[in-house]
């Protein structure tokens, strides 16, 4: 059971960032079994609004580490939500891919000593490579009345979670600059080990690439689109990022539907005392 407790206006307030203001409401998510987080709802959300599902990362977001892409991805997602004037940030308490900061630090230490990636390090230490689930995020979006979203992600597992719950998903890639070699190695490990997409000027991120996901082809479609070229070297990566106008990014997307019919956009108000089972 996932419980959402919020009264109209109870948490709504003005949010200022980078010279722009939006109204935001904060809703606590509690799915039980350690699945906890918050839904930050910016503006008046409706079907097809921008959504970011983000796992907590102390190093990347608060300490501004150059070793991962978590901070830059969150920053870019908020930029896009602010530009759109509305959207949802689902912020999940999943530090260290759901295993906590101590496990994360142990994984970093093992990787540093052995030269392995952090997925391999976790497994060597007896942890699962990535035990995160996104059920509470999907239920939270349903509770907000959303049946179709533009999901800001490079992670196919997040797409699968929403599509599996009946939400139509248009995937919008988050293209950020890797801040160090270690960060580039991590991106490559995510691509190789977890099937993450690395956005670039190649399929499936061409503007015309649209995938209609039906139950019969769901798993195959997601798997096929996840195999991309390795992360390029420093010079090529930097040139690739610099040559891409920010205005073109929202156009580079894929669409995933659970059925052949697309829900019609509807304006949604946030209801009070929301409960979802």
Which residues carry out catalysis?
A: 130, 132
CA distance 172 to 249: 8
Indicate the SS3 state at residue 145: coil
Q: Is 160 exposed, middle or buried (0-12, 13-18, 19+ CB in 10 A)?
A: middle
Indicate the SS3 state at residue 109: helix
Selection from 173, 172, 142, 164 nearest residue 259 by Cα: 164
Beta carbons of 173 and 195 less than 8 angstroms apart: no
CA distance 105 to 55: 16
DSSP-derived secondary structure letter, 246: G
Beta carbons of 15 and 23 less than 8 angstroms apart: yes
Selection from 8, 13, 11, 268 nearest residue 143 by Cα: 268
Count CB neighbours of 142 within 10 A: 17
Selection from 133, 184, 139, 178 nearest residue 155 by Cα: 133
Selection from 3, 130, 24, 157 nearest residue 82 by Cα: 24
CA distance 24 to 187: 31
CA distance 10 to 6: 7
């Amino acid at each position: 059971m996932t419980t959402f407790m919020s009264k109209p206006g109870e948490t709504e307030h003005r949010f200022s960032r980078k010279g722009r203001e939006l109204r935001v409401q904060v809703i606590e998510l509690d799915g039980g079994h350690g699945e906890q987080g918050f839904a930050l709802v910016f503006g008046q959300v409706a079907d097809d609004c921008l959504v970011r599902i983000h796992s907590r990362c102390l190093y990347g977001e608060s300490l501004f580490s150059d070793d991962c892409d978590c901070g830059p991805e969150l920053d870019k997602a908020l930029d896009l939500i602010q530009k759109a004037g509305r959207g949802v940030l689902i912020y999940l308490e999943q530090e260290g891919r759901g295993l906590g900061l101590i496990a994360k630090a142990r994984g970093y230490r093992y990787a540093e000593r052995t030269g392995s990636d952090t997925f391999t390090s976790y497994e060597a230490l007896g942890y699962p490579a990535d035990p995160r689930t996104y059920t509470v995020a999907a239920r939270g979006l349903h509770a907000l009345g959303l049946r179709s979203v533009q999901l800001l992600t490079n992670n196919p597992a997040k797409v699968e979670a929403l599509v599996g719950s009946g939400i139509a998903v248009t995937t919008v890639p988050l293209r950020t600059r890797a801040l160090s070699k270690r960060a580039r190695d991590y991106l490559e490990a995510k691509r190789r080990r977890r099937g993450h997409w690395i956005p670039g000027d190649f399929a499936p991120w061409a503007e015309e690439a649209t995938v209609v996901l039906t139950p019969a082809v769901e798993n195959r479609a997601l798997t096929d689109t996840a195999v991309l070229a390795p992360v390029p070297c420093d010079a090529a990566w930097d040139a690739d990022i610099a040559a891409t106008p920010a205005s073109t990014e929202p156009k580079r997307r894929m669409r995933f539907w659970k059925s052949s019919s697309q829900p019609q956009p509807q304006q949604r108000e946030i209801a009070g005392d929301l409960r979802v089972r």
